[in-house]
Amino acid sequence: MMRLYKVYHRLSPFSSSCCCLLHPFSLGNARFPSSTLRSFRHLRTHSTNLFKPAMSASRFNRLVPVNSALAEDGSAAGNGSANASLTFAEDDDESVIGVKYRVPPPEIRDIVDAPPLPALSFSPLRDKILFMKRRSLPPLAELARPEEKLAGLRIDGKCNTRSRMSFYTGIGIHSLMPDGSLGPETEVRGLPDGAKINFVTWSNDGKHLAFSVRFEEEESSSSKLRVWVADVETGMARPLFQSPDIYLNAVFDNYVWVDNSTLLVCTIPLSRGDPPKKPLVPSGPKIQSNEQKTIVQVRTFQDLLKDEYDEDLFDYYATSQLVLASLDGKVKEVGSPAIYTSLDPSPDEKYILISSIHRPYSFIVPCGRFPKKVDLWTADGNFVRELCDLPLAEDIPIASNSVRNGMRSLNWRADKPSTLYWAETQDGGDAKVEVSPRDIVYTQPAEPQEGEEPEILHKLDLRYGGISWCDDSLALVYESWYKTRRTRTWVISPGSKDVSPRILFDRSSEDVYSDPGSPMLRRTSTGNYVIAKLRKENDDATYLLLNGNGATPEGDIPFLDLFDINTGSKERIWESDKEKYYESVVALLSDQKEGDIHINDLKILTSKESKTENTQYYIQSWPDKKLCQITDFPHPYPQLASLQKDMIRYERKDGVQLTATLYLPPGYDPSKDGPLPCLVWSYPGEFKSKDAAGQVRGSPNEFAGIGPTSALLWLARRFAILSGPTIPIIGEGDEEANDRYVEQLVASAEAAVEEVIRRGVAHPNKIAVGGHSYGAFMTANLLAHAPHLFCCGIARSGAYNRTLTPFGFQNEDRTLWEATNTYVEMSPFMSANRIKKPILLIHGEEDNNAGTLTMQSDRFFNALKGHGALCRLVILPFESHGYSARESIMHVLWETDRWLQKHCVSNTSEVSADIGKSKDGEGKEVTDIENKAVAASGGGGAELSDDIESGQFHSKPRSLM
């Protein structure tokens, strides 16, 4: 079951540069192509790294599984959680050292404490909607609970699940009436007081819900999870297992509906005893060896196994016993205890793909690269055959598009009862190897005839990226190559060997203006999704629905095209209102029946919002295109309802067109009020061409969502906010983007500052710069190399010394030894002696990001302090790469507000009254540094290089919603 999350600042722990979750829609227990399943399963089971900066404007990137728990980086938890140590400092002590947790001024605090909206989920039959209720920010006490850091995971031993999970506090069920209105709420009842709900899934027929429940057993401790089921018509819930001793193991996959009355559940083995005890004296030294001279290059992964004790502890928590449980109470153990990572029933419900990992483990890579075994079982739990057993993959090259060797993306064809397909690399998984074909896609029945070999479905010269299935006459195969940004879509006929594959689209992935959209999918009776075919009266043509963002120089104008797959002709049947509103197609709803959809029976779910109006959801029906509003969410922060938002365009000195979103406080008039203090908040992006870098992404009409640490909160403090100004780092041709990082970074910042000053909205001497993660890296570099632009900086969870991440970072594929100058000269740590403007460093003490170890901020602060810089370092206990506890977030806001008031609002020094000074004097040194720099990391991808699944994450077509 999939869930769509609006990407807003509202719940983002990282501010505007990262994605977050808000009033999502889920659309039943969807089963998707392997490329998407792999990334979604990762999200579902790895609750600590859900959030990555939203560098793409595609709303499709906002999908995560409904049964994934909200992670620490986006937790939605309770308001009344501030502990007694929280106080608001009215004074402004010069040092403010050793303070307790503080809270920001009321105008900021009230916005952050606004209650969150519920998450929404459609039933498989589209006749009911769940409203899953949430609390706001969690208390720090929840983050302080003990956790085990093992094999790249963080595990809550008391719950036997990923640590720091958020939860739902209740579920309301509404019927969707024929006129589009919602019926009265039926509350899921029968739950224990204080129940914490996770992993909500529909049965395929929509009659039952399954979910996990935990509740407080005693102060500051949580119980293990139990599986519950609820009758959708009555709302009555009960435990799935009659025995109180059967608990859910949710470290990896947790449970799946095998059919409408049976679940396959990962349980904690009943025979499991106490956790292994750490020996007081080790059995021997810790030894790693490379006597075979194997080349192994890995990034700086966190939370890895360290010794034999960690290996035993990982086994203890991750090992599950699979249990088949029927709604009538029947329980049957199947298979032996093992570390099961995924469970995937076939469309005809006869088979189950069972993935597991096993020893030997590794001390240098996370569990996603451990030996992996995939078996085929019958639905009643009998072993059929082994499909693959992949060895430990420590040596996956760091180059983009490098993958694990052997079978990957193994999955069921969505249009067949029980047919498997997968991809195998022909380059050994190494993207630097030139070979044709590079990937081959194979297919085979679940139980082939004796001697029947896998059939070659398609050969690809780029890296395989997934398949959208339709039927034997039509499937779309995706391939792409990051280095060139090339992406291709192939049309194949899986059941007709005499029909040659042909290229449907061949384009640059970063050329958003040419994006034709992605085919919309319809849900089948088996719960899978296939390409929707449409037909017209008296017309034999085969039509698809292409759902696109509609990027234009004026901003995104989403569309829905009727596309003839044979001729390529298009007819636009729906388009967003481009004058005031931003609308998008969220999902296809007219898919209750099998077969082609008649155009007059078309029904879609859309969203609609404006600069000042919260997103609402609508159902639109053909042929009259009648529109029915199904939600009426209130404005989350009415005090900023009349804020001003404008998408602005300007030009960099080398001719590259840049864009940014300028926000101004309610009621502000530059002609009367004069220039304001300004906060510039951004995140660099990496491109292969100037034209692509200059394209407009996003819409000026999108709702201005504000998250707990968003820069937009300072609109309430009468700041101008320049959000997400384009900071393109361009590497054309054979040039690497990082080869001119500093030069391009400074040029982009100069253009942005010049523009807000020219508009009269920003005071030249009161412009601050800030960012999170790679944006923090950007901030430090700008204060080092462009001190003429900014009065101060705010850098959260950043990396400042790239020699500490020697085997690549962000999208840099070269190692420290291959590009020494790049690593050294792009690192603001190496220019700490040049930073003279005040800089506030904030970092989570438990940062698990592969690129931003907490010691990065610690060492950078010491370097700054060693040169007398005005700096401050705030380390947040228990927090990871993003911040989630209310105490932490409030204190971050207090620190940020104090810094801005002290070093921006009150700034009287000459900063950028004459930007032209950058051409000589102080600026000459900057230019010299820029000319020397072989530059820094690109930002096309997130600083969060989690890579738990060996880098095999692929974007999926937006139509899979």
Catalytic residues: 773, 847, 881
Task: Report the C-alpha gap between 343 and 321 in whole angstroms.
Answer: 13
Task: Report the C-alpha gap between 719 and 756 in whole angstroms.
Answer: 12
Task: Report the C-alpha gap between 208 and 229 in whole angstroms.
Answer: 7
* Amino acid code (one letter) for 959: S
Q: Which residues on neighbouring strands pair with residue 248, listed in sequence order?
A: 225, 267
Biggest CA–CA distance in the chain, Å, is 84
Nearest by Cα to 678 from 703, 693, 660, 696: 660
Task: Report the C-alpha gap between 701 and 146 in whole angstroms.
Answer: 44
510-541 in b/e burial notation, b at 16+ Cβ within 10 A? Answer: bbbeebbbbbbbbbbebbbbbbbbbbeeeeee
Give the distance, in angstroms, between the CA of residue 2 and the centroid of all CA atoms in the same chain. 14
Alpha helices by DSSP H, 609-761 = 670-673, 690-693, 741-758
H or E stretch at 486: strand 486-492
Backbone angles phi, psi at 523, to 5 degrees: -85, 135
CB atoms within 10 A of CB 229: 18
Tell me the residue ranges of DSSP E strands in 182-225: 186-187, 196-202, 208-214, 216-218, 221-222
H or E stretch at 36: helix 34-45
Backbone angles phi, psi at 340, to 5 degrees: -85, 125
Nearest by Cα to 158 from 76, 241, 247, 81: 247
Nearest by Cα to 15 from 706, 834, 714: 706
Which residue has tokens 């995104």? 556
- Note whether 57 and 266 are within 8 A (CB): no
Which residue has tokens 């404008």? 646
**Helix 774-785 vs helix 922-932: crossing angle, to nearest 10:** 130
- 832 Rama class: left (phi>0) / alpha (psi -120 to 50) / beta: alpha
316-331 in b/e burial notation, b at 16+ Cβ within 10 A? Answer: bbbbbbbbbbebeeee
User: How many alpha carbons lie under 13 Å from residue 105 in its C-beta half-sphere?
Assistant: 13
For residue 603, give both structure tokens.
């029904």
For residue 741, give both structure tokens.
């990082």
Please report, in angstroms and rounded to a whole number, the separation of the first and last CA atoms in the chain.
10
Task: Report the C-alpha gap between 77 and 138 in whole angstroms.
Answer: 4
3-class DSSP string for 532-592: CEEECCCCCCCEEEEEECCCCCCCCCCEEEEEECCCCCEEEEEECCCCCCEEEEEEECCCC
- 525 Rama class: left (phi>0) / alpha (psi -120 to 50) / beta: alpha
Which residue has tokens 């398609």? 458
Task: Report the C-alpha gap between 614 and 582 in whole angstroms.
Answer: 11
Give the angle subtended at the CA of 809 by the CAs of 772 and 688, to the nearest 5°: 90
For residue 70, give both structure tokens.
């909200």
For residue 215, give both structure tokens.
């509740």
Which residue has tokens 């506890």? 885
* Amino acid code (one letter) for 919: K
Which residue has tokens 């589209």? 126
